[in-house]
Structure 1
Amino acid sequence: MGKLDGKVAVVTGGAKGLGEAISVQLANEGAKVIAADMGDLTYTHENVEGYKLNVTDVAGVQTFFDEVVAKYGKIDILVNNAGITKDAMTRKMTDDQWDLVLDVNLKGVFNLTRLIGPHMQANGSGSIINISSVVGVFGNIGQANYAASKAGVLGLTMTWAKEFAMKGANVRVNAIAPGYIMTEILKTVPEELLQKFAALTMLNRLGQPEEIAKVALFLASDDSSYITGQTLNVNGGMRL
């Protein structure tokens, strides 16, 4: 018996990297996972179904929601993981860099949740997990757009924890704020920089995608049945 047997989960940005790790972790515990992403899945799992989706496309998100509910009858878990970076110092940041990051990282989260949150509320239960970032908590030089988007996700998390629990619904909304995690993107970073990032943590190492995925599983399952409106900082004790 898995912790998520009979559950239906949506994971955005689920084609690779952190989204892949989360999708596989939830699927291994019995959930049927719809991994929504603009790209093709880079892996296979009998319980994971890929779906091409741009989270900024409002009409596309509505179609996605309608199709998933028509096919599976419900959505029990939503992991808002899709995100991008377009880094630049504030004085050099273009409107396009600002708008695109906010559109994907913040508006994209809103687009999915404004449909799935009320759906969960009507069904009486559900778990929403928003992937923020250590940068959304502490800020970071050259990432004003990313920091703003990820800090905004934390505000949405606390707001939705209140909204979707109204009228007695058991809908929980929490956030995970990862530190530097060894996904494919970091594997292209020079080793000396990776060592510098690791030295910023109390544990003196970078995180692995599976370590974030296990926290997502915890928040998705009944193991966290009395936790809502919270941000779990999973960063090895990082100090920026």
Structure 2
Amino acid sequence: MITLRNRPYLPIWFHRGLSRAMGVVIRTHGRPAARSRVLFVVNHLSWSDIPVLGARIRGSFVAKSEVAGWGPVGWLASFAHTVYVARDRRHSANIQKNEIGDRLRAGGNIILFPEGTNSDGTGVLPFKSSLFAVVADVPGVTIQPVTLAYTRINGVPVTRGDLPDLAWVGDTQLAPHALGFIGLGQVTAEIIFHPAIDPAAWPDRKALARHCHLVIAAGYRRLMRGHGPGEG
């Protein structure tokens, strides 16, 4: 049983220290919702998202089950009590939904990657509406859309040619990618905390997923074009 006394959060200072060691400078726009039972919905780019987001958000991650086997990243995720989602097993969906629901009902926060996988950094993939099903079962849940982007390398704006060094996709091995990422130098990660929303304001989870996708994808485009979160 998860209680408020044993919230499954690694301390923020741990993630901040790890991000600094990786050479990542984090810039934030807005703030995470200052309440409990928040479902933070975020686009997903790389293994590095875990320490970067963990440095700013107190919450448990939801990740695909393969993450558990990703060496140090899997250890870090498991240590943070990540909820693993078996994407290819439909019968496990209710178990996963119940575990996420239990975390929220206990007053915890959840960090969800609704794309279901890493994007290649050129944009935000469509969201899986099934991952929003938990909001119907837990009263008092707040959703906060969050945009994450890696925008600069050593102060220079990221180009399309830089994206394979930042986004971790396909069959790329973790260790070489991590070493390459760290070898880039100073990487700027930007996070937009969009206004929190009440999921009850949308007629169903598909409409809710579409809204979150539109907000997050628009924020990603602005950041990657070098604009601020409220600019064109």
**TM-score normalised per structure 2:** 0.42
- Which structure dedicates a bigger proportion of its chain to helix? 1
**TM-score normalised per structure 1:** 0.41
Relative contact order, CA 8 A, sep 6+: which one is greater? 2
